[in-house]
């Protein structure tokens, strides 16, 4: 361990040590000699030489120490190499910790591989019924391993205990600065994940009178993509009750989750709130949204121009056409793949793969090690200074003292 100062220039405050010395010397002048009549009969003796003498020496030393500690506190002392070198054993939530308690037996740090690395004596982070971390508690395993590798001293050994499979993996194996003792605990095979290709919600259509022609194409595309992909090809054969169509003034159905909004002007507050609560809306190019939304291109034409752009609004999504939905301005309305493209706009984004077999996720070595952060001694010095200040005030005001410097 080594001591260092982050702000050594603050040691200039040690010049304040002269203040207690001057105060103690100045207060001695209060003890003035008093002439007494009987002293004139005594034989006059030579006066002794004047010597500098300090009264209340221990109080003076206490005051000098207090000022020296304040100067040291201003210099921001830190202590390098004070971190413990005990081995660490971390467990991914879902692992049985009982077999590891006997192995550690006070010789190792037992922690959960979770944000903050809580002690093993604390309850494990919430897990779902299948044994995997709940979605709200799922943490990236690789990020936690890299964080722990950066925080621990280079000489500390690290053991990671994981189940045979787990969620929260990155796209590649983590690379650390140390060799990890990677232990895999047996675990039942995971249940089959539900299909990620669930059908997107059927959109309802709200349109202005001048968009009546566009509704024919969009309603036919919805009918073709959602209900009968191979059968419906004519706009006249669409069953209108399958795709609710109405004017913008009509309220949305209670179960509506998707919307095609073909009306100009500011988007009504009720529709904006519906989107923020989780709805998906494809807006006319003339529609405006008051909220500042960062738009991302969703669909390009063959020349590279953007046809549809979109962004997030609360828990929902806004999609917006960049040109009028008319064959003359948007020829894609007549292309065979337009229904599938429209359906894809309303489909939920595919979740990123995060489940991995533990045997395929053993961390690699070769990453650069990080210097350890020194321990800040300022809080401890502040407590010591406060205690000495209380002691100094008590000593300076104690009634048994004969002199009050």
Tens of pLDDT, residue by residue over 54-84, are 667 788 888 889 888 898 888 888 876 656 7
Cα 93 from Cα 276, distance rounded (Å): 34
**pLDDT (0 to 100) of residue 208:** 92
Cβ distance 90 to 148 under 8 Å? yes
**pLDDT (0 to 100) of residue 404:** 44
Whole-structure pTM over 0.85, yes or no? no
**pLDDT (0 to 100) of residue 22:** 78
**pLDDT (0 to 100) of residue 205:** 93
**pLDDT (0 to 100) of residue 307:** 92
**pLDDT (0 to 100) of residue 357:** 85
Hey, what are 59's tokens?
């109080």
**pLDDT (0 to 100) of residue 352:** 60
**pLDDT (0 to 100) of residue 377:** 83
Cα 125 from Cα 342, distance rounded (Å): 41
* Interhelix angle 57-74/18-27, nearest 10 degrees: 160
Residue 145 burial (C-beta neighbours within 10 Å; 0-12, 13-18, 19+): buried
Cα 279 from Cα 164, distance rounded (Å): 38
- CA-to-CA separations, 181 to 30, 36, 59, 160, in angstroms, rounded: 74, 90, 57, 6
- Between the two ends of the chain, the Cα-to-Cα distance in Å is 41
Low-confidence ranges of the chain (pLDDT < 50): 127-137, 194-196, 230-239, 402-405
Cβ distance 232 to 224 under 8 Å? yes
């Amino acid at each position: 361990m080594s001591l260092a100062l982050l702000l050594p220039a603050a040691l200039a405050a040690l010049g304040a040590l002269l203040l207690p010395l001057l105060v103690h010397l100045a207060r001695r002048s209060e003890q003035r000699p008093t002439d007494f009549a009987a002293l004139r009969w005594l034989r006059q003796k030579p006066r002794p030489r004047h010597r500098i003498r300090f009264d209340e020496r221990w109080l003076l030393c206490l005051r000098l120490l207090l000022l020296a500690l304040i100067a040291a506190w201003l210099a921001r002392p830190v202590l390098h190499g004070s971190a413990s070198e005990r081995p660490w054993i971390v467990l991914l939530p879902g692992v049985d910790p009982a077999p590891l308690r006997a192995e550690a037996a006070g010789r190792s740090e037992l922690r959960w591989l979770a944000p903050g690395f809580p002690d093993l004596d604390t309850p494990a982070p919430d897990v779902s019924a299948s044994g995997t971390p709940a979605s709200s508690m799922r943490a990236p395993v690789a990020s936690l391993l890299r964080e722990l590798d950066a925080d621990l001293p280079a000489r500390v050994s690290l053991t990671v205990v994981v189940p045979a499979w787990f969620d929260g993996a990155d796209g590649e194996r983590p690379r650390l600065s140390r060799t990890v003792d990677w232990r895999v605990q047996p675990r039942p095979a995971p249940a089959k994940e539900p299909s990620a290709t669930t059908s997107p919600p059927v959109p309802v259509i709200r349109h202005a009178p001048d968009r009546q022609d566009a509704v024919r194409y969009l309603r036919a595309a919805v009918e073709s993509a959602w209900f009968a992909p191979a059968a419906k090809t004519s706009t006249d054969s669409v069953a209108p009750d399958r795709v609710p169509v109405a004017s913008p003034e009509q309220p949305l159905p209670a179960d509506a989750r998707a919307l095609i909004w073909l009306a100009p002007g500011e988007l009504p507050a009720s529709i904006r709130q519906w989107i923020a609560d989780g709805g998906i809306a494809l807006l006319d190019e003339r529609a405006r949204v008051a909220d500042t939304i960062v738009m991302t291109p969703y669909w390009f034409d063959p020349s590279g121009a953007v046809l549809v752009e979109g962004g997030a609004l609360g828990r929902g999504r806004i999609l917006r056409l960049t040109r009028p939905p008319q064959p003359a301005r948007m020829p894609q309305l007549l292309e065979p793949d337009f229904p599938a493209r429209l359906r894809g706009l309303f489909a939920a984004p595919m979740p990123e793969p995060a489940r991995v077999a533990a045997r395929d996720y053993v961390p690699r070595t070769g990453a650069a090690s990080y210097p350890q952060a020194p321990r800040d001694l300022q809080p401890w010095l502040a407590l010591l200074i406060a205690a000495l200040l209380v002691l100094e005030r008590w000593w300076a005001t104690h009634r048994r003292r004969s002199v009050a410097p």
